[in-house]
Chains A and B, each alone.
Chain A
Amino acid sequence: MLNDDVFLRNLIEFARTLRYLGVRTSTTELLDAVRALDLVGLGNREVVKVVLKSTLIKSSDDAPLFDLAFDAFFVSPDIRRYQAALAGREKRLKEASRAACHEELRFLGKPLELEPGHQAAYLKMDPEERRRIVQFLEDVSRGLEGSEKSEKFRPMVGRIVQGHIERWLNVNRRARGGPDSLTGEAMLYTVVAAGLSAGGVPVRVSRPGLIERDLAEADDSDMPALEKATSRLARRLSSQVSRRMKAARKREIIDLRRTMRANIKYGGVLLDLRYMSRRVSKPRIWVVCDVSGSMTKYAAFVLKFVYALASVTKSIEAFAFSEDLEYITPWVKEWVGKSSVKSFLNEISGKSIQWGRGTDIGRSLATLLEKHGQMLTSKVTILVVSDAKTVAVDRATESLAVLSGRSRAVIWLLTVPGEDLGRIPAVARFRPYCRLFQCYSLSQLEKIIRNELFG
């Protein structure tokens, strides 16, 4: 066994770092790594890297993350200090952005909270654009001043401002990125350094691998790779499901061993046939997507993924909503498979009258029931893609209850990080009527679809 206690401690810490980053590595793999290093020794860094890679990780998806983590972890103290300083600088930049936004963006005298990405984007906008937003907030605040229910408009006002920033971002794409947005390698170094500087206290951090990334943070340069990953995941799931369905058709195939046993008493004449298991039916899916502001990106990827599973589903219908709902199946069928997510984001702003508006889930689901209820049966599974931030939560809950009763199941894909769930009033109200899942990355989407639709 390795006698170097220091290295053993580092190895254990490295394995913990991989776990912080979302790589599933267990004690068994760690033992394998120790035995393997005992065989090859520690003399050659590259060989040690290959040994750890082949024992600690078990999927090629984890390979790029492993490479970055290894290079970040097994470095000299000088480089480690630099990385910690980088992480500190990024944190200070984010805090400065937040402070600046709080200063300018105020509704009814209090700061308007925006997501960090939108805060950073706001600060990059032209002074004229910023002035317009500030003016809008001042006008709305003045109009609602003195009204008892004025605070209830805060979420809607926030979404309008975010929607405006999103539209500006779409037009001025080069404004994205830069030191404020941590993606890819920069983020990983920050994450790993943060993990190390946390003094070994387990802190779950988001894994920045492609399919683990928040889709809302994807910029134009990420899109082709994300679309490829979407197709790959869908293809894989589709072939697995298809295989299972075919295997289930073994119901028509005789189980010879059991049949032989059963027919010995008939002198080998096959009177009593025994069969294998039963068949699985294909699901019908309705995808109901929130297309207000930043939700559009999630909608695009979910639609792309679900439609890529067309061969293992009975039927798929698509709907878009924000203040109200519209049926978009014909257009989506034309778009999917032929065009990119980027074109979806461009086209939907023109084709859908719902795009970019505020969110009224209650009215939208009521319209779904009223206009399309005759198509809704107990065989339909409804996938709702939304952050559940809506006005009129009571009405939304009522509509959802009816929908839940008339369909096979309602699966709600919540496009918000876990920490924010408690701040959304609708989540607790919706829970009795649907299965709620946090879903902001491709990896989460694949897992949920696999388990809930085909499990």
Chain B
Amino acid sequence: MDETGGSAALDPLTTDITIPWLRRAFEDQKYICGDEVIVPVYLALMLQKPLLVEGAPGVGKTEIAKVLASILETDLVRLQCYEGLDESKALYEWNYQKQILRIQMAKDQHEAGALEKDIFSEEYLLGRPLLHAIRAEKQIVLLIDEVDRTDEEFEAFLFEVLSDFQVSIPELGTIKARHIPVVVLTSNRARELSDALRRRCIFLFIDFPSIEKETRIIRAKVPGVPERLAREVAAAASYIRAREGIRKLPSVAETLDWARALVALGMESVNEESIRYTLNLLLKNKDDLEALSRPEGVGAVAAYVREQVAEQC
């Protein structure tokens, strides 16, 4: 990948993609979204730039990569980021145990130079997700999940890898990617990513969905849920997210769990009773649960839900 992000030729995987095609494909995969998601995904594919997806936890950031892998009919390679992740866990590591054994076995042979070359060869190399992505035989989707959980040092390293899609292993030389992967990075904004990394990417921010959209998501993902119940669940979630003082906003994933629970319990509507019994599926913070579990909290949610559904009718 050169400085402007272009390459010699588009990979066959992305040549025939159009925006309408992507819309249909995402819908077939039950990923409910509008052009605010489809267009950046399209641009990332066609311009061969990584896609940086930001948003609160549980809004569907990681799902985009999975959907892309499905619709492009290719493999998904996932690098789950965490605090303390470094090159050895992300790119490659030497098999130290095997190396020590080899050194022990060759103890009496006085060929230090040859031994050193031997223990730093392919046989002793443990490839991690980034190396798998670079060496893949076909174009794959590389998901770098929750990149904001890593530190700045790792981010700088990642920036290098994403710029050229090649890696230098001192003992083995430079390994270049045969096929530039489709790269999706996700971030929960736990920390600010560097400008250098952001500039390399097409940016997509996914906010919490509207009641309308969330209703469609629930209906697509929860089998057997009546439309009215789906709407009530979406309305309740929307109200709670807008409420002041809630520390951990319920995610779309939690809304879906809640809808599934209500269906499983045979509850036909979101009212004071059903909210009281199942609120812990939506709220995962003790203070939030206490605040909303009070009669005036539950009552307010139920009243809002009734109002929304009445408006729709």
Q: Which of A36, A55, A243 contacts B83 (CB 8 A)?
A: A243
Q: Which of B152, B191, B203 contacts A54 (CB 8 A)?
A: B203
**A281 at interface, CB cutoff 8 A:** no
Residues of A within 8 A of B96 (CB): 256, 260
Q: Which B5-55 residues sit within 8 Å CB-CB of chain A?
A: 5, 19, 35-36, 39-40, 42-43, 46-47, 49, 52, 54-55
The answer to whether B84 touches A39 (Cβ under 8 A) is no
Shortest B102–chain A CB gap in Å is 8
Residues of A within 8 A of B52 (CB): 58
The answer to whether A244 touches B151 (Cβ under 8 A) is yes
Shortest B108–chain A CB gap in Å is 9
The answer to whether B190 touches A236 (Cβ under 8 A) is yes
Q: Which of A24, A55, A57, A260 contacts B94 (CB 8 A)?
A: A260
The answer to whether A35 touches B47 (Cβ under 8 A) is yes
**A50 at interface, CB cutoff 8 A:** yes
The answer to whether B199 touches A29 (Cβ under 8 A) is yes
The answer to whether A267 touches B35 (Cβ under 8 A) is no
Nearest CB to that of B204 among chain A residues?
A54
The answer to whether B36 touches A50 (Cβ under 8 A) is yes
Interface centre among B39, B47, B104 (most CB of A within 10 A): B39
The answer to whether A50 touches B35 (Cβ under 8 A) is yes
**Distance of A39 Cα from B10 Cα, bound (Å):** 14
The answer to whether B195 touches A58 (Cβ under 8 A) is yes
Residues of A within 8 A of B195 (CB): 24, 58
Q: What mask results when residues 57 to 92 of chain A are scored 1 for a CB within 8 Å of chain B, else 0?
A: 111100100000000000000000000000000000
The answer to whether B151 touches A247 (Cβ under 8 A) is yes
Q: What mask results when residues 263 to 299 of chain B are scored 1 for a CB within 8 Å of chain A, else 0?
A: 0000000000000000000000000000000000000
The answer to whether B112 touches A265 (Cβ under 8 A) is yes
Interface centre among A31, A50, A55, A244 (most CB of B within 10 A): A50
Size category of the A interface is 35 or more
Q: What mask results when residues 396 to 416 of chain A are scored 1 for a CB within 8 Å of chain B, else 0?
A: 000000000000000000000
**Distance of A256 Cα from B88 Cα, bound (Å):** 10
Shortest B146–chain A CB gap in Å is 12
**A113 at interface, CB cutoff 8 A:** no
**B99 at interface, CB cutoff 8 A:** yes
**B69 at interface, CB cutoff 8 A:** no
Q: What mask results when residues 232 to 243 of chain A are scored 1 for a CB within 8 Å of chain B, else 0?
A: 000011011001
Shortest A77–chain B CB gap in Å is 27
Shortest A290–chain B CB gap in Å is 29
**Distance of A35 Cα from B4 Cα, bound (Å):** 10
**Distance of A31 Cα from B192 Cα, bound (Å):** 24
The answer to whether B40 touches A54 (Cβ under 8 A) is yes
The answer to whether B47 touches A46 (Cβ under 8 A) is no
**A326 at interface, CB cutoff 8 A:** no
The answer to whether B19 touches A247 (Cβ under 8 A) is no
**A51 at interface, CB cutoff 8 A:** yes
**A246 at interface, CB cutoff 8 A:** yes
The answer to whether A60 touches B54 (Cβ under 8 A) is yes
Shortest A404–chain B CB gap in Å is 31
**A40 at interface, CB cutoff 8 A:** yes
Residues of B within 8 A of A40 (CB): 19, 39, 42-43
The answer to whether B43 touches A39 (Cβ under 8 A) is yes
**B178 at interface, CB cutoff 8 A:** no
Assuming A36-B47, A59-B192, A246-B83, what are 13 further A-B pairs, CB within 8 angstroms?
A32-B47, A32-B49, A50-B36, A51-B39, A54-B203, A55-B202, A60-B54, A60-B189, A240-B151, A240-B192, A244-B152, A260-B99, A264-B115
- Top 10 closest pairs, chain A to chain B, by CB: A268-B103, A58-B198, A54-B40, A240-B191, A60-B205, A50-B39, A268-B100, A36-B43, A58-B203, A267-B107
7 pairs from A and B in contact (CB 8 Å cutoff): A47-B19, A60-B55, A63-B205, A240-B151, A256-B94, A264-B103, A268-B100
A residues at B contact (CB < 8 Å):
24, 26, 28-29, 31-32, 35-36, 39-40, 46-47, 50-51, 53-55, 57-60, 63, 224, 236-237, 239-240, 243-244, 246-247, 256-257, 260, 264-265, 267-268
